[in-house]
Amino acid sequence: MSTPLSPPSYSGIARMIDHALLQPFMTDEEVRAGCGLARHYGVAAACVKPRSTAFVRDLLAGSGTAVCAVIGFPHGNSTTPIKVAEARQVTSDGATEVDMVIHAGSVLGGAWEEVAEDISAVNAVCTDAGAILKVIFETDYLQDDPIVRLCGICSEIGVAFVKTSTGYGFVKRAGGGFDYEGATVARVRLMRGHCAPSVEIKAAGGIRTLDDVLAMRGAGATRIGASATAAILDETMARFGGGPGPIAGVKAQAGY
């Protein structure tokens, strides 16, 4: 039987959020501003690209907001030795959380031993460095059965989190356009239902409002990836009280 959720509060919602600073075109000054936003709102982590890790470590020092670095991002196409090297680099540079993308083609091709070895190798580097690993499935590419299998593999390895999406998992649709769905309540529930209790769920991709966050929380997510952090937490303050107050002029970022 699941434990009933506590009533939502500003601190509870803020400490669920990984503020995403992952757009490929972001300048260092934009990353600096994003870290200021993360500190102001008191979120769980700032999620950044590998090249920004040491820079962000210094910006967030003493804030209580963790540095989360992505590796194999956004499509998981790097070899395992490269992902391992990335994990060593970002943890050396100050990341205490690492979000790794699996290779969806290996999952779809049934190369389960390769997938498990990839996850296990990176998890070992993270745990040796005192960091936690979040494994990104990119659920837009997968049906339920491989998601369930991935949940079992991640549970056996003992990763800290599984995560729905990168926010960049665009799928070609009829007519030639590209789109993605990102996190859904159904997929979060599926992942929660097939992971060990020790494995937490991070929902990311298309989460832009407080109601989106509350829906994912109700489905079993304990961490949220979002770039619309200011909008979500300003809405949280208006509805539940608490918090540091809005930052004037901040707009939601595009993507994620």
Residue 248 burial (C-beta neighbours within 10 Å; 0-12, 13-18, 19+):
exposed
Instruction: For 4-51, write each residue's pLDDT tens digit.
Output: 899 999 999 999 999 999 999 999 999 999 999 999 999 999 999 999
Range in 111-125, 151-165, 177-191 with the lowest mean pLDDT? 177-191
Q: Structurally, what CATH architecture does the domain formed by 10-131+207-240 represent?
A: Alpha-Beta Barrel (3.20)
Q: Give me the chain's average pLDDT, please.
A: 95
Give me the active site residues, please: 99, 163, 202
Look at residue 249 and tell me whether its pLDDT is greater than 80: no
Helices 210-219 and 185-194, packing angle to 10 deg: 30
Do the Cβ atoms of 228 and 213 come closer than 8 Å?
A: no
Helices H / strands E in the chain, number of each: 10, 10
Tally of CA atoms within 13 A in the half-sphere of 94 that contains its CB: 20
Predicted local distance difference test score (pLDDT) of residue 180: 80
Look at residue 255 and tell me whether its pLDDT is greater than 70: no
Instruction: For 102-117, write each residue's pLDDT tens digit.
Output: 999 999 999 999 999 9
Look at residue 253 and tell me whether its pLDDT is greater than 90: no
Whole-structure pTM value: 0.95
CA dist 240 and 51 (Å) reads: 37
CA dist 162 and 195 (Å) reads: 8
Residue 213 burial (C-beta neighbours within 10 Å; 0-12, 13-18, 19+):
buried
Instruction: For 189-212, write each residue's pLDDT tens digit.
Output: 999 999 999 999 999 999 999 999
Stretch 159-185: mean pLDDT, rounded? 86
